[in-house]
């Protein structure tokens, strides 16, 4: 949520800073800005809009200097205005800051600073940081910039990743973090700071991952990390990234979303290659726990829900999926329990809140995450890295599917340990998962044009119900979320059986229902799902079906249908989801939406 970049170099930094916040734009994109030091002051340019437009209008690249910070914003405190865009400067204009997170005591700090004659230019919580540092510079005890910076950070409540430049120390970037991600990049004659790897991945793969309560003093030829309270130096290890800049480019696809949908055969192979021992360790925790919970939010909650179904079917274990934003209120996890979190970024506030509370209460914790070195990967007792590579589109596709595969794989391992699956059934299930990459790539190659025509036909219906039973229920939820996020259509996901208990009153010829139908081999589920379809059609509802039943096709039963290739029952829901991802993508194209940067969203939601 919000992108931070800083570069301190022996060369001019403005062009690189611009490229850097363009690469971070998926973290937030309502406004952006840049500050570069010259000999007199921190020159600041900022405005409302996408980075490319603001950069052109405000002439970002005319800023001249070797040290600078930049920011791309997702508004939390204060509207989307030029004044509220970052960087923010102190009264003297001698220092500028950029900030991610939320300063929860900003009102109190602002009131005190106002009494001391500080003038505020914005409505943000962030601006108090600049004035507070300036104020602390006046105090005798804290007269060095470094001390004033640390003293100010210690007065902040809430979460922050902050980077600061000042004319009084022109060759340095100061930065610090608490509960918001911040990492350092080590280059040649220049160093970087960023809210994630994409800030500097074009220039270096060597990074230092900062921990909560740390700050860093970065120059073009060195860095030092210290504890904010006490200024003690902290030795840090260099992590070399496996991702490279090329992986984060569109590679000939018109949008990241489509590229990432097409990368799924590959990313599934990657998650299938995770060591069996890792799954076994999680499985042992699941089995030995008094209560085991799965948690995530948004897409990763739906991923967890699919995991819950798989653990029930493959291992006979009930491990409820709990939305992490409600976790504390509903899941009293304690010593002896196990909490498994799922997150692409590893930085999502709600999921971190659940994990942090769990850490205090004593259960074992683990996480399935995509981003190496992320907060969750460091907070939990055990981490499984899904290895999906960078996911740039705000809408999660390949990361979510890989997490589903990880949980399906975990369910198999757990089933083998509980004795629910014998050796042959375990092997069969794993082979079914291994078939998915080819099934998906064939589907994408052969059926994309058809999915596009289906989307074109139905894109102009605003109201949708997405329904499914069993494992197709979380698939329906996730598919509906895709349509909401990328196409801004109203799509409600629900269990097919739930419909008749109220929502069916909505059915008329304007409401479209997308139904995920299991194969006829899943007799009971098939019959029940078809029962719901009949009830909808009896009330004049129009049904679009995703199914693999040849007999249904022959009978021309539905308003419209997508016939999916035959797939083993365990993995068929994933194929339906891939089809739904593509369907939502093409609807959004038809409606001319901003695919990779949908309105109001941000890739990683690091605030409450
Ligand atoms: O990074 P995380 O997986 O923890 O993010 C969780 C949700 O914010 C995320 O899945 C969100 O729902 C996406 N926009 C889904 O496309």
Digit-coded pLDDT (tens) for 278-331 = 999 999 999 999 999 999 999 999 999 999 999 999 999 999 999 999 999 999
Q: Is the CB of 370 under 6 A from ligand 1?
A: no
Tens digits of per-residue pLDDT, 451-466? 999 999 999 999 999 9
Q: Which atom of ligand 1 is nearest to the CA of 603?
A: 14
Residue 182 has a pLDDT of 94
CA of 297 to the centre of ligand 1 (A): 6
In terms of DSSP bridges, do strands 190-194 and 3-9 run parallel, antiparallel, or are they unpaired?
Answer: antiparallel
Q: Is the CB of 395 under 6 A from ligand 1?
A: yes
Residue 499 main-chain phi, psi, to 5 deg = -55, -50
Pocket test for ligand 1, best of 1, 344, 594 (most atoms within 8 A of CB): 344
Tens digits of per-residue pLDDT, 162-207? 999 999 999 999 999 998 889 999 999 999 999 988 899 999 999 9
pLDDT at 520 exceeding the cut of 90: yes
CA of 6 to the centre of ligand 1 (A): 26
Q: Average pLDDT of the chain?
A: 93
Residue 553 has a pLDDT of 78
Alpha-carbon span 405 to 48, nearest angstrom: 40
In the structure, what pLDDT confidence band is assigned to residue 401 with cuts at 50, 70 and 90? very high
Q: Is the CB of 299 under 6 A from ligand 1?
A: yes
Residue 212 has a pLDDT of 92
pLDDT at 551 exceeding the cut of 90: no
Tens digits of per-residue pLDDT, 486-502? 999 999 999 999 999 99
Question: Which residue has the least CA distance to atom 4 on ligand 1?
Answer: 343
HSE on the CB side for 314, CA within 13 Å? 31
Q: CB-based burial of residue 39 (10 Å sphere; 0-12 exposed, 13-18 middle, 19+ buried)? A: exposed
Tens digits of per-residue pLDDT, 328-344? 999 989 999 999 999 99
CA of 596 to the centre of ligand 1 (A): 14
Question: Which residue has the least CA distance to atom 7 on ligand 1?
Answer: 298
Higher pLDDT, 550 or 578: 578
Please compute the mean of the pLDDT values over residues 361-389 and round it to a whole number. Answer: 94
Please compute the mean of the pLDDT values over residues 510-519 and round it to a whole number. Answer: 95
Residue 2 has a pLDDT of 86
Q: Is the CB of 344 under 6 A from ligand 1?
A: yes
Q: Is the CB of 486 under 6 A from ligand 1?
A: no
What is the end-to-end Cα distance of the chain in Å, rounded? 11
| Catalytic residue selected from 2, 175, 215, 393 | 2
pLDDT at 560 exceeding the cut of 80: yes
Please compute the mean of the pLDDT values over residues 575-601 and round it to a whole number. Answer: 94
Residue 509 has a pLDDT of 85
Q: Is the CB of 351 under 6 A from ligand 1?
A: yes
Tens digits of per-residue pLDDT, 403-440? 999 999 999 999 999 999 999 999 999 999 999 999 99
Residue 194 has a pLDDT of 96
Q: Is the CB of 396 under 6 A from ligand 1?
A: yes
DSSP string for residues in 116-160: TT----SS-STHHHHHHHHHHHHSSTT-SHHHHHHHHHHT--EEE
Q: Is the CB of 308 under 6 A from ligand 1?
A: no
Question: Which residue has the least CA distance to atom 10 on ligand 1?
Answer: 299
Q: Is the CB of 440 under 6 A from ligand 1?
A: no
Per mean pLDDT, which range of 182-196, 554-568, 575-589 is the poorest? 554-568
pTM, entire model: 0.84
Residue 139 has a pLDDT of 64
CA of 166 to the centre of ligand 1 (A): 36
CA of 30 to the centre of ligand 1 (A): 19
pLDDT at 142 exceeding the cut of 60: no
Q: Is the CB of 598 under 6 A from ligand 1?
A: no
**Cβ atoms within 10 A of the Cβ of 235, count?**
5
Pocket test for ligand 1, best of 348, 353, 478 (most atoms within 8 A of CB): 348
Burial 521-553 (b: 16+ CB within 10 A, else e): ebeebbebbbebbeebbeeebbbbbbbbbeebe
- Whether 603 sits among the annotated catalytic residues: the reply is yes
Residue 140 has a pLDDT of 60
Residue 138 has a pLDDT of 87
The distance of Cα 311 from the centroid of its chain, to the nearest Å, equals 24
Q: Is the CB of 323 under 6 A from ligand 1?
A: no
Ranges assigned E (strand) in 62-123: 67-73, 88-89, 95-103
Residue 275 main-chain phi, psi, to 5 deg = -55, 135
3-state secondary structure of 453: helix
> Which residues on neighbouring strands pair with residue 73, listed in sequence order?
31
| Catalytic residue selected from 46, 364, 542, 603 | 603
Q: Which atom of ligand 1 is nearest to the CA of 345?
A: 1
Tens digits of per-residue pLDDT, 87-107? 999 999 999 999 999 999 999
Quick one: which of 200, 265, 241, 243 has its CA closest to 389? Answer: 243
Residue 143 has a pLDDT of 67
In the structure, what pLDDT confidence band is assigned to residue 141 with cuts at 50, 70 and 90? low
pLDDT at 55 exceeding the cut of 70: yes
Quick one: which of 40, 28, 201 has its CA closest to 126? Answer: 28
DSSP string for residues in 164-226: EEETTSTT-EEEEEEBS--EEEE-SSEEEEESSGGGTTTT-SEEEE--TTEEEEEETTEEEEE
CA angle 121, 125, 130 (to 5 degrees): 60
Pocket test for ligand 1, best of 348, 391, 396, 584 (most atoms within 8 A of CB): 396
């Amino acid at each position: 949520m919000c992108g931070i970049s800083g570069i301190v170099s022996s060369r001019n930094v403005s062009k690189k800073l611009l490229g850097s916040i363009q690469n971070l734009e998926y973290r937030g994109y309502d406004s952006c800005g840049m500050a570069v030091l010259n000999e007199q002051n921190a020159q600041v340019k900022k405005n409302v809009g996408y980075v490319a437009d603001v950069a052109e209008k405000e002439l970002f690249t005319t800023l001249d200097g070797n040290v600078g910070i930049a920011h791309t914003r997702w508004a939390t405190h204060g509207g989307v205005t030029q004044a509220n865009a970052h960087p923010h400067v102190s009264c003297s204009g001698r220092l500028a800051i950029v900030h991610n997170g939320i300063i929860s005591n900003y009102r109190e700090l602002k009131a005190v600073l106002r009494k001391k004659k500080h003038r505020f230019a914005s409505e943000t919580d962030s601006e108090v940081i600049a004035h507070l540092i300036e104020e602390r510079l006046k105090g005798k005890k804290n007269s060095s910039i470094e001390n004033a910076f640390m003293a100010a950070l210690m007065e902040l409540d809430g979460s922050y990743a902050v980077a600061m430049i000042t004319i009084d120390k022109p060759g340095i970037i100061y930065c610090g973090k608490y509960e918001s991600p911040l990492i350092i990049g080590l280059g040649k004659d220049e160093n970087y700071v960023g809210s994630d790897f994409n800030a500097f991945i074009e220039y270096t793969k060597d990074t230092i991952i900062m921990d909560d309560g740390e700050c860093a003093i970065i120059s073009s030829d060195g860095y030092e990390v210290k504890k904010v309270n006490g200024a003690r130096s902290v030795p840090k290890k260099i992590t070399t990234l496996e991702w490279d800049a090329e992986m984060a480019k569109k590679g000939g696809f018109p949008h990241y979303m489509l590229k990432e949908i097409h990368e799924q055969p590959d990313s599934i192979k990657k998650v299938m290659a995770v060591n069996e021992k890792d799954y076994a360790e999680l499985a042992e925790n699941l089995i030995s726990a008094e209560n085991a919970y799965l948690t995530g939010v948004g897409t990763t909650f739906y991923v967890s829900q699919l995991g819950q179904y798989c653990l029930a079917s493959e291992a006979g274990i009930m491990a409820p999926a709990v939305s992490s934003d409600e976790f504390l209120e509903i899941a009293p996890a304690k010593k002896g329990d196990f909490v498994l979190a799922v997150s692409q970024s590893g930085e999502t506030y709600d999921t971190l809140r659940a994990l942090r509370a769990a850490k205090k209460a004593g259960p074992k914790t683990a996480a399935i995450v995509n981003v190496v070195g992320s907060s969750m990967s460091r907070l939990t007792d055990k981490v499984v890295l899904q290895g999906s590579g960078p996911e740039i589109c705000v809408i999660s596709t390949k990361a979510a599917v890989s997490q589903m595969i990880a949980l399906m794989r975990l369910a198999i391992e757990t089933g083998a340990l509980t004795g629910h699956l014998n050796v042959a059934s375990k092997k069969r299930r794993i082979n079914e998962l291994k078939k998915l990459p080819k099934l998906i790539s064939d589907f994408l190659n052969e059926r994309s044009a058809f999915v596009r025509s289906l989307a074109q036909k139905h894109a102009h219906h605003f109201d949708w119900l997405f329904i499914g039973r069993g494992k197709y229920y979380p698939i329906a939820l996730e598919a509906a979320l895709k349509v909401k996020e990328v196409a801004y259509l109203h799509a409600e996901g629900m269990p097919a059986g739930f419909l008749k208990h109220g929502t069916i009153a909505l059915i008329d010829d304007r409401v479209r229902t997308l139904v995920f139908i299991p194969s006829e081999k899943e007799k009971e589920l098939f019959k029940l799902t078809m029962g719901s379809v009949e009830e909808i059609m009896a009330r004049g509802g129009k049904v679009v079906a995703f199914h693999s039943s040849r007999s249904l096709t022959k009978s021309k039963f539905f308003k419209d249908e997508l016939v999916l290739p035959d797939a083993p029952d365990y993995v068929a829901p994933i194929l339906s989801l891939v089809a739904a991802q593509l369907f939502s993508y093409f609807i959004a194209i038809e409606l001319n939406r901003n695919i990779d940067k949908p309105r109001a969203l941000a890739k990683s939601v690091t605030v409450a």
